[in-house]
Chain A
């Protein structure tokens, strides 16, 4: 292996921001034809490193070599010209434009007078799409594609040049299992052409499935490179967070109370049909299924954000009609939404104001908002949930993902709910904080809350739930207890395979 010249090599790269050393002497090399995982907790410096490679940041020290040639990369275009291509995590597409225009964004083929050469554009694009084996053509509007297909468009961008190195940043975040297979095929294909691939992901199972080597960053420092074949999850995790991690099945069981929430034959148009389930006090019910299976939509219906087309919702045995989120909150239902930054928090506001947002109406002294009462609530939940922030004045946008999520959870706990719905509680949260959130969810159930956890990650569902509801395209396929569930039966259920049904 050592005789191959690395396609990309970094030596002692340092990037400082005022007050922070975001990258502290990072060195690593990418060999042709390898898949090299880059891992680290959120804030470890992965994105900064990528931005340095992509020419968005200038490194303060250190040197980047492309094919052993020292280079300075000053713009995304230069990076691309040298064959270093990025597949961004957050889709970076213009959804009103066609697939072809998006793929060649910034470098549309030209004719005289600055005119676009449409024929060449469409022909080139269709050629690329053919190699990707996708079901749409160059003229399709990107906004009409599914998220997964949009991801494929993003990937197609990498193929417009002859890439030396392709950097995938969390490419599977929004893909279903079937689509992941296609992605891995594309990666394998690139690999066989001698392209070096940097693969950034939080998902261990993928890392171990497709990568050759793993490099780990922690706090901006390079912690070492491991050969994937010679290591295991535990070693990688330890390198990442400096301690061990508990990823076992949920074993603890506590006393279950009465049924807090029951749903009978709930339907909402085409989104989901005839959904039945119960949640008891002290119980965690996990909802597992593919993206688009209707899990989030059920949560939104219970929280009053959608009107059900049929069926009943019973709270403590009484049928209720929930017309708005205000209704839901008044009846003790809280929803920690899927998109923490977009739906859960006002990023520009401080910690205290975010936490007291739903009840600020009641926290008044005369005509003014009572500062003292707000701070008291914040302090209470900061201690209870162990939220690490310099103070309540800190803007939540500056907190880490785990602490942000705790603020959202604290916000709803302060409303004294009976039913707590948590949608994708650890999406985009690093491994260390993940287990903290999991423990928090278990604790909350032990305290008598009825908790619903919606998640797309199997280890998470297995870890926190007392019962698991498996969903497939808007229908409940099967409900498992934590004793009887196996990974195989769960996968079968969410893929729409009936399996042996337990009555």
Chain B
């Protein structure tokens, strides 16, 4: 049992070890190759990194829950864009403008409700039809993106509200608003998954759905709740992101679903469900952002960054498989 515990620890600690490795590599390589004079491992840089990883990070945390539950959600990028548009556009509505700054919380409410509704649509379809979540959300990914374009065509939706910008750029205890949202969401979801019955049932459903059904767990409502959650979080991510820029393109949020899944998988969550942790996903999110920033720091272009992240993802999954093998005696495939 002892070796098992050590193995678990190794599995959960691996992502943090990887982050330390990245930090060390980029600090050392940076001192030789850096295009700028600033140090990589400065506090400011790290805080910026946390802030930058927030949009995808918030989505990835929600994705963890859905994936532990044994589902997947590909429509988060479109939800992200639609929620951002709803928020910015609602601020321009006449009755909202009459409200002054009180329009801001109301616009957030509209945007977040958009996410909740879209998530509920996904969840209800998966629950009631029994169609695989991959297919359902592939459809809704296209559908929701269609809604985004219907809203404003190819035009970006912009509305600069200075109160909103101030809020987005505010700092509290050294952390920016976006970072606080990321950490807050992580804390709440961590509590949800480890402490509540809903969280534990989500693990059970993802791990062995038949067993869960036999034990009388109502699988459908849990699915629905988790899809609503990720819809809400995708919208929250869109709101936090567009609050700062005051503008959103209809193509914003594209491929976010894939980045989120990458972070989740890098954090060790099983694609098939039943295993994973919120904290590890947070690690995965930070690791990816570190890689992007670090490679940029030593002068590599975006195309190189994508290539490296792709390679690392495959290597990580390969290593994970090796770790779970029983040595040379195991069955060959």
A interface, CB within 8 angstroms of B:
75-77, 80, 86, 88, 92-97, 101-102, 105-108, 110, 113-116, 140-141, 144, 268-271, 297, 300, 304-307, 309, 324
Q: B266 to chain A: closest CB distance in Å?
A: 19
Q: Give the CA-CA distance A105 to B195 in the complex, in Å.
A: 15
Taking a contact as CB atoms under 8 Å apart, the answer to whether A106 and B216 are in contact is yes
How far in angstroms is the closest Cβ of chain B from A49? Answer: 16
Which residues from A are CB-within-8-Å of B217? 105-106
Residues of A contacting B330 with CB < 8 Å?
306
Chain A residue numbers with a CB within 8 Å of B274 are 94, 96
Q: Please tell me if B6 contacts chain A, counting CB pairs below 8 Å.
A: no
Distance, CA A110 to CA B196, complexed state (A): 8
Instruction: Please name all residues of chain B whose beta carbon is closer than 8 Å to the beta carbon of A300 when the two chains form the complex.
Output: 331
Whole-angstrom CA separation of A116 from B197 in the bound complex:
5
Min CB distance, B205 to chain A, in Å? 8
Q: Which of A75, A304, A306 contacts B216 (CB 8 A)?
A: A75
A sample of 6 inter-chain contacts (CB < 8 A) reads A76-B213, A94-B211, A94-B274, A105-B217, A114-B196, A306-B329
B207 proximal to A (CB < 8 A)? yes
- The residue on A at minimum CB distance from B327 is A269
Contact across chains for B329 and A114 when beta carbons are under 8 A apart: no
A-B contact count (CB 8 A): 90
Q: Is the CB of B212 within 8 A of A269?
A: no
Residue of B nearest to A108 (CB): B197
Q: Do B215 and A76 have beta carbons less than 8 Å apart?
A: yes
Rounded to whole angstroms, the CA-CA distance of A110 and B328 in the bound complex is 45
Which 8 interchain pairs have the tightest Cβ spacing? Answer: A106-B215, A77-B216, A94-B207, A105-B215, A269-B329, A92-B211, A106-B216, A94-B208
Residues 188-203 of B, flagged 1 when their CB comes within 8 A of A and 0 if not, give: 0000000111101101
Chain A residues contacting B275 (CB-CB under 8 Å) are 96
CB distance from A28 to the nearest CB of B (A): 23
The closest CB in chain A to the CB of B214 belongs to A92
Least Cβ–Cβ distance between A455 and chain B, in angstroms: 21
Apart from A93-B211, A306-B331, 7 more pairs, CB < 8 Å: A92-B210, A96-B275, A105-B217, A115-B197, A116-B197, A116-B200, A269-B327
Q: How far is the CB of B2 from chain A (nearest CB, A)?
A: 11
Q: Which residues of B contact A270 (CB under 8 A)?
A: 329
A residues less than 8 Å from B332 (CB atoms): 304-307, 324
CB <8 Å contact, B208 and A92? yes
Residue of B nearest to A137 (CB): B1
State A113–B211 Cα separation when bound (angstroms).
25
Contact check, A105 vs B196: say whether CB atoms are below 8 A apart: no
- The answer to whether A115 and B214 touch across the interface, beta carbons within 8 angstroms, is no
Q: How far is the CA of A300 from the CA of B210 in the complex (A)?
A: 30
- CB-CB under 8 A from A96, the residues of chain B are 203, 207, 274-275
CA of A222 to CA of B272, assembled, Å: 42
B39 CB, nearest partner CB in chain A, Å:
42
Interface pair A94/B216, CB less than 8 Å apart? no
Complex contacts, A107 vs chain B, CB 8 Å: 215-216
CA distance A93 to B210 in the complex (A): 9
Are the C-beta atoms of B197 and A114 separated by less than 8 Å?
Answer: yes
A105–B212 Cα distance when bound, in Å, is 7
Contact of B200 among A93, A101, A269, A271 (CB under 8 A): A101
Interface residues, chain B, CB within 8 Å of chain A? 1, 4, 195-198, 200-201, 203-204, 207-208, 210-217, 274-275, 327-332
Take A75-B216, A92-B214, A141-B4 as given contacts and tell me if A105 and B329 are in contact as well, using a CB distance cutoff of 8 Å. Answer: no
Report the minimum CB–CB distance from A222 to chain B (whole Å).
26
Evaluate whether A271 and B329 lie within 8 angstroms (CB atoms) in the complex, with A92-B210, A94-B203, A94-B207 already known.
Answer: yes
User: Are A80 and B329 closer than 8 Å at their CB atoms?
Assistant: no
Q: A94-B208, A269-B329 are in contact. Are A80 and B216 (CB under 8 A)?
A: yes
Give the shortest distance, in Å, between A433 (CB) and chain B (any CB).
26
Chain B residues near A304: list those with CB within 8 A.
Answer: 332
Residues of B within 8 A of A268 (CB): 329
Contact B327 A97, beta carbon cutoff 8 Å: no
Inter-subunit contact B204/A116 (CB<8 Å): no
With A92-B211, A106-B217 already in contact, the answer to whether A140 and B1 are too (CB < 8 A) is yes
Tell me the nearest residue of chain B to A297, going by C-beta: B329
Q: Knowing A95-B208, A114-B196, A269-B327 touch, does A144 contact B4 (C-beta < 8 A)?
A: yes
Distance between Cα atoms of A482 and B275 in the complex (Å):
50
Report the minimal beta-carbon distance from A92 to chain B, rounded to whole angstroms: 4
Q: Which residues of B contact A115 (CB under 8 A)?
A: 195-197
Q: How far is the CA of A126 from the CA of B215 in the complex (A)?
A: 20
**B residues in contact with A307, CB < 8 Å:** 328-329, 332
Q: Complex Cα distance A86/B204, Å?
A: 19
Tell me which of B197, B198, B210, B331 has the highest count of chain A C-beta atoms within 10 A of its own C-beta. Answer: B197
Partner of B196, one of A92, A116, A297, A306: A116
B198 to chain A: which residues have CB within 8 Å? 114
Report the nearest A residue to B208, measured CB to CB: A94
Task: Given A105-B217, A141-B4, A309-B328, answer yes or no on A113-B207 (Cβ-Cβ < 8 Å).
Answer: no
**What chain A residues lie within 8 Å of B1 (beta carbons)?**
140, 144
CB distance from B280 to the nearest CB of A (A): 14
When distances are taken between beta carbons in the complex, the residues of chain B under 8 Å from A297 are 329
Q: Give A297 to B332 CA distance when docked, in angstroms.
A: 12
- Specify which chain A residues have a CB less than 8 angstroms from the CB of B208 in the assembled complex: 92-95
Shortest C-beta distance, A229 to chain B (Å), equals 35
Question: Which residues from chain A contact B331 at a C-beta distance below 8 Å?
Answer: 300, 305-306
Judging by beta carbons under 8 Å apart, are A95 and B207 in contact? yes
B203 touches A97 (CB 8 A): yes
* CA gap between A97 and B195 in the complex, in Å: 13
Bound together, the chains give a CA A305 to CA B160 distance in angstroms of 65
Q: How far is the CA of A245 from the CA of B216 in the complex (A)?
A: 41
Judging by beta carbons under 8 Å apart, are A76 and B196 in contact?
no
Residues of B within 8 A of A77 (CB): 216
Whole-angstrom CA separation of A144 from B214 in the bound complex: 22
A91 to B41, CA, bound (A): 51
**A309 and B327 alpha carbons, distance in the complex (Å):** 12
A305 to B208, CA, bound (A): 28
Task: Report the Cα distance A297→B330, complex, angstroms.
Answer: 10
Bound together, the chains give a CA A115 to CA B212 distance in angstroms of 19
Q: Is the CB of A113 within 8 A of B328?
A: no
> What residues of B have a CB within 8 angstroms of the CB of A306 in the complex?
329-332
| Minimal beta-carbon separation of A124 from chain B (angstroms) | 15
Q: Which residue from chain B places its CB closest to the CB of A109 in the assembled complex? A: B197
